Structure 1
Amino acid sequence: MKGKFYGIGVGPGDPDLLTIKAKKVLNDVDIILAPETKDGKGSTALNIAKPHLNKNIEIIEKKFPMTYDVEVLNKSYDEISNFINKLVNDGKKVAFLTLGDPMVYSTYIYLFKRLKEKDIDIETIPGITSFCAIASKVGVPLGENEETIAIVPSVYYEKGDKKLEEILNNINNIVFMKASGEIDELIDELEISGHKEGSVFVSRLGLDDEIIERDIEKRKGIKNNYLSTLIAKKNVKSR
């Protein structure tokens, strides 16, 4: 009898934001697969889920390369998806943990696409995204009346990028995902476009070392953590 593969979003950081369905599934599976951080400090996603796990559940941590090298990435995704496929075909119920929501800029997506081509049962359990949790915590509406919203990955952060310029000129509310490293040039662009005053920077939301900064000018010259998000709102008249 074949098993089943689950992709589970554990939310942005606070274990209390894990959904009821996610908790039920996590305590029903045979194996939990978690992505390990590159610094060897364990899995952030696993640490979020741990308070809800049975003590005897089998946990496997896998390292995913942090690189833009497509060949290296594809090799890793192929190896891990084949590993999961074997477990499922051996009758195991396997859950893969991912931060936020599995279908929003997640490593899970690359595994899902590969495993979807194989004859196995897959279910994706949604999670709360970092930007939705941030909006609620700091009291910043992401969309109001006729405002537009864009979710932008870090690849567009470079100054002078035409796509970034187009987004800044046409979108009211912008979520900049993975606002890590130095974001000085992005901050300058937000000032030019009129988004800077309504911006908030948040790093490691819901974790012990959480940072919330409304004066984003203070983030200049700082190498920000990978788990950072910047929400920028252009000043618009509300009802």
Structure 2
Amino acid sequence: MAGIFYGIGVGPGDPELLTLKAVSVIREADVIIAPKTEKKEDSVALSIAAPYVKENVQIVKLVFPMVSDSDTLSEAWEYNKNVIVDLLKAGKKVIFLTLGDPMFYSTYIYVFRLLENCGYPIETIPGVPAFCAIGSKLGYPLVEGNDILSIIPATASPEKVDKALSITDNVVLMKVYKNVNDIVDKLHKYNLSGQAVMISRCGLPEEEVVCDLDSLKGRKINYLSTILSRRG
């Protein structure tokens, strides 16, 4: 039997937000690839999918380092690719779990590119992005009418962030954990702070909602944090 590889978005945190198709494939999996960083023993994506995982499935936790050293990254990626390909050669139905949507700021994108020419079928199953779940949870419309929405990684260069904030109507700021002080200042500068809200670990037990962004200054912000804002 030929192996097949699935990339599955598990959404931001609530297991009930997985699609019916995602649940169906998870329940039929032979192997589940659960990505994690070196600093953590557990996979958040796996914990979200846990209610649908059958007892006898093989769980393979692969480390995807969050480092900038190219040699370390290359070694890790090559090792992970070989592990997955060996499972596919054995005819396994292999699924890769990822937070949010697989094609949106996801580790899965790199895995997909590594495997797409390996000769095995790949199917990608979308998931609910964090900012969509946040908007629904808080009753916070993301865009209306002819609004322009910008999705900005806060880790981008200050010049790129400034340019986007200067012209957009509404904004989703991802990855705000590294430079939240600067981001809050920029939102004030471009009149985008009045209706801003940050939510961390949306749908997870440790979820936190912050409406006073100035109170974030000097704090350590969780990696899974997103800011929604609109010009006011």
TM-score (norm 1): 0.93
Q: For residue 166 of structure 2, what is the aligned residue in structure 1?
A: 169
2:198 is the counterpart of 1:223? no
Q: Distance in 2 between matches of 1:214 and 1:41?
A: 32
2:207 is the counterpart of 1:213? no
Q: Distance in 2 between matches of 1:74 and 1:198?
A: 42
Decide which moves more: 54-63 or 128-137.
54-63
Q: For residue 129 of structure 1, what is the aligned residue in structure 2?
A: 129
Instruction: Please state how far the C-alpha of 1:90 moved relative to its aligned partner.
Output: 1.4
Instruction: Please state how far the C-alpha of 1:60 moved relative to its aligned partner.
Output: 1.0
Alignment RMSD = 1.3
Q: For residue 102 of structure 2, what is the aligned residue in structure 1?
A: 102
Is the CA contact 2:37–2:65 (under 8 Å) kept in the aligned structure 1? no
Q: Distance in 2 between matches of 1:111 and 1:77?
A: 8
Other structure's SS at 2:194 match: helix
Instruction: Please state how far the C-alpha of 1:205 moved relative to its aligned partner.
Output: 0.6
TM-score (norm 2): 0.96
Per-residue deviation, residues 30-74 of structure 1 (Å, max 9, x unmatched): 000101243333110000000111112111111110112233223
Percent of residue pairs bearing the same amino acid type: 44
Unaligned runs of 5+ in 2: none
Unaligned runs of 5+ in 1: none
Is the CA contact 1:181–1:222 (under 8 Å) kept in the aligned structure 2? no
Per-residue deviation, residues 134-158 of structure 1 (Å, max 9, x unmatched): 01111111111111111111322x6
Q: Distance in 1 between matches of 2:172 and 2:44?
A: 22
Q: For residue 45 of structure 2, what is the aligned residue in structure 1?
A: 45
2:71 is the counterpart of 1:71? yes
Instruction: Please state how far the C-alpha of 1:182 moved relative to its aligned partner.
Output: 4.4
2:154 is the counterpart of 1:189? no
Q: For residue 17 of structure 2, what is the aligned residue in structure 1?
A: 17
Q: For residue 113 of structure 1, what is the aligned residue in structure 2?
A: 113
Is the CA contact 1:36–1:42 (under 8 Å) kept in the aligned structure 2? yes
Q: For residue 149 of structure 2, what is the aligned residue in structure 1?
A: 149
Decide which moves more: 62-71 or 187-196.
62-71
Q: For residue 2 of structure 2, what is the aligned residue in structure 1?
A: 2
Q: Distance in 2 between matches of 1:175 and 1:200?
A: 10
The alignment of Structure 1 onto Structure 2 pairs a total of residues equal to: 232
Other structure's SS at 1:202 match: strand
Q: Distance in 2 between matches of 1:206 and 1:130?
A: 9
Per-residue deviation, residues 168-195 of structure 1 (Å, max 9, x unmatched): 1111111111211441111011001000
Runs (4+) of structure 1 exceeding 4 A deviation are none
Is the CA contact 2:154–2:183 (under 8 Å) kept in the aligned structure 1? no
Q: Distance in 1 between matches of 2:8 and 2:72?
A: 25
Q: Distance in 2 between matches of 1:182 and 1:171?
A: 20
